[in-house]
Structure 1
Amino acid sequence: MAPLLFVTGASSGIGQALAWRYYQAGYSLALVARRTEEMQAWAHKQGLDPLRYQIYSADVAVVESIVAATEQCVQTQGVPDVVIANAGVSIGMDSAVRGDLDVMSRTFAINNVGLAATFHAFIDPMVRRGSGALVGIGSVAAIRGLPGHGAYCASKAAVVAYCESLRGELRDSGVQVVTICPGYIDTPLTRHNRYSMPFLMQADVFADKAFATITAGDSYRVIPWQMGVVAKALRLLPNWLYDKVLSGRPRKKRITEA
C-alpha cells in the first residue's frame, strides 16, 4: 500500500506543489481546502490516478470543520504517514483600526489553532503505530517582527514555538515533528507584495527541498537557507538599528487594500 500524505491548503501555492512532489514520490494524497473545485481541476489536469487521492472540504479556521476532515480521512484512507499543516493567510494589519483586530483573530484561527486542529486526530494513532511526521509550515517572518505584519509575524512565531513544544511531547514516540520556515516563495500569497523579496524561490523548488527535509527527519529548516542567514543577522541587530533599517519599508496590504 502506498504511503499517504495529508496536506491542507492544497488548492494552490505551496500546498499544491508539495502534493505534487509527494505524488511523484509514490504517495497517495488527502487534499484539503475550502476550494474543492480547484483541487479537482488541478488533479484532473495533472492526470492523478483517482485511486490515489481524495479531496476533503474544510475551513481550517473552524475547528470542527478541519477535525471532521481529518476523521473522514482516517476512515476513508487510513492514518497518514505525513501530515503537512500548510494552510495559512498573510494580511497586513494596523492595530489602531478596529476591523484589523478581526483580521488578527482570523489569522490566528487559521495559522495556529487550525494547525493544531489539523494534527489533533492523527497524534494518538500515529503514536500507537510508532511512526509518522507532523509538519508545521512556519515562515522566516517568525524570526523578527516586521512593521505592518504584526498578525502574520506573531502567528508564525507561534507556529515555531508550538511545533517545538509538540516535538518535546512526542519525543521517543516514533512520531517526528518538523518545522519548515519558507522565505519568499513565488505563490499567489506573495505575488502582490509591494516590497523586494530577496532569494525568491519557485514553489516546485521549495517542494523538493521540503520533501528532502521531511524525509531526512530534520526538526527545523529555513528554505531557502540564505533567508535564514539574513533573518538571524537581523535578529542580532540592536533594536534601535533594526527599527532604523525597517523605517519606511513598504507594508503588507491590509484587507481593505487587497
Structure 2
Amino acid sequence: MSQRPLVFITGASSGIGQALAARYAQAGWRLALVARREAELRTWAEAQGCTAEDAGVYGADVRDLAAMAAAGRACIAAQGVPDVVIANAGISVGIDTEVFEDLEVMRSTFETNVIGMAATFHPFLSAMRERGSGTLVGIASVAGIRGLPGHGAYCSSKAAVISYCESLRGELRGSGVRVVTLLPGYIATPLTQRNRYGMPFLLQPEEFAERAFRAIEAGTSYRVIPWQMGVVAKLMRLLPNPLLDRVLAGRPRKRRQGE
C-alpha cells in the first residue's frame, strides 16, 4: 500500500464533494470516491490526471446499506484503511407536510443525509479503532440549527446529523479516532442554484473546500463555514420563538420536488 494518506469521500461527483476531492488531490492525498454516478466520477478523475494509484472510484447509493458496506470493504482491500472519511452525500428538497407525496421526500432525505452518513462511517470504525487513528467528517449545515418554513425535511435531517456526530464523538473519545462536524452556510452548488431567496455570504465550492481542509487537518470538532454564518446562526438560536416566527414570515420557501 502507498504511504500517501487516503481520504474517502461520498457524493464526490459534484458540488462540495468534488471540490473536496480536488483539494485533497492537490495536497497529494490518494482518493477513494463514492457516488451513484460512477461513470461521471471516473470521467472526472481521469480529467484530473488521476491514475489508478491516485484514485479509486466506487459506485454506490448511500441509502443502500449493503452497497455502502461493500464499497467500504472494497476500499480497504484495494487502498487500505482511510485516514479521513468524509460523509458528504446529501439532498435538499422543500416539503409541505399536507402533501402526502412529500412524506416520501422526507423519508428519502433522512435516508440520505442521516442514515447514509452512518452507513459511510460504519465499514471503517473497527479498523480505525484498531489502528488508533482516523478522522470521520460529517457534513451538516447551518440549516440544522433552527427550522425554516418549507425546509422541514432538510433542517431536521441536518439537526440530526449534528446530534449524531456529537454522539459519535463521545463514543470514540480516547480511541484516537476523531469526529469533525462541518456546517456549511450557502455554497454555490447544484443544491442551491435554484433557491428563490437571498443567500448571504455565499461561497464557491473551492473556497469552502479550502476552509474545510484546514479545519479537518486541525482536528476541529465543530466548525461553521463561513464564520459569518456561524454568527447569524447563533443569533437565530437566541431569538425567542415569536420573534423568529415574525422574522421568517413571508420568506420564500425551498422548491418542492417537481417545482
Whether TM exceeds 0.5 here: the answer is yes
Matched, 1:36 2:34: no
Query: SS at the partner of 1:178?
Result: strand
**1:256 offset after TM fit, Å?**
2.1
Quote the Cα distance in structure 1 between the aligned partners of 2:46 and 2:166.
37
- 1:58 is matched with 60
Unpaired runs of 5+ residues, structure 1, are none
**1:207 offset after TM fit, Å?**
0.4
Q: TM-score, normalized by length of structure 1?
A: 0.98
Query: SS at the partner of 1:115?
Result: helix
Amino acid at match of 2:24: Y
Q: TM-score, normalized by length of structure 2?
A: 0.98
**Structure 1 consecutive aligned stretches of length 4 or more whose deviation exceeds 4 Å:** none
CA deviation string 1:78-132 (max 9, x = no partner): 1000000000000000011000000000000000001001000101100110100
Quote the Cα distance in structure 1 between the aligned partners of 2:40 and 2:200.
30
**1:169 offset after TM fit, Å?**
0.3
- 1:200 is matched with 202
Quote the Cα distance in structure 2 between the aligned partners of 1:43 and 1:128.
31
Amino acid at match of 2:64: V
Q: Choose 211-220 or 59-68, whichever is displaced more.
A: 59-68
**1:50 offset after TM fit, Å?**
2.9
**1:68 offset after TM fit, Å?**
1.2
- 2:129 is matched with 127
- 1:102 is matched with 104
For residues 1-258 of structure 1, the aligned pairs below 5 Å read 1-257=3-259
CA deviation string 1:165-193 (max 9, x = no partner): 00000001100000000000111111111
Quote the Cα distance in structure 1 between the aligned partners of 2:70 and 2:158.
24
Amino acid at match of 2:125: I
Amino acid at match of 1:164: E
Quote the Cα distance in structure 2 between the aligned partners of 1:145 and 1:120.
28
Quote the Cα distance in structure 2 between the aligned partners of 1:59 and 1:50.
22
CA deviation string 1:186-231 (max 9, x = no partner): 1111111110000000101100100000000010000000001001
Query: SS at the partner of 1:155?
Result: helix
* Count, aligned residues: 257
Quote the Cα distance in structure 1 between the aligned partners of 2:131 and 2:57.
24
Between the two proteins, what is the percent identity of the paired residues?
65
Amino acid at match of 1:73: C
Quote the Cα distance in structure 2 between the aligned partners of 1:67 and 1:91.
26
Quote the Cα distance in structure 1 between the aligned partners of 2:24 and 2:126.
24
Quote the Cα distance in structure 2 between the aligned partners of 1:255 and 1:71.
34
**1:162 offset after TM fit, Å?**
0.3
Query: SS at the partner of 2:61?
Result: coil
Q: CA RMSD in A?
A: 0.7
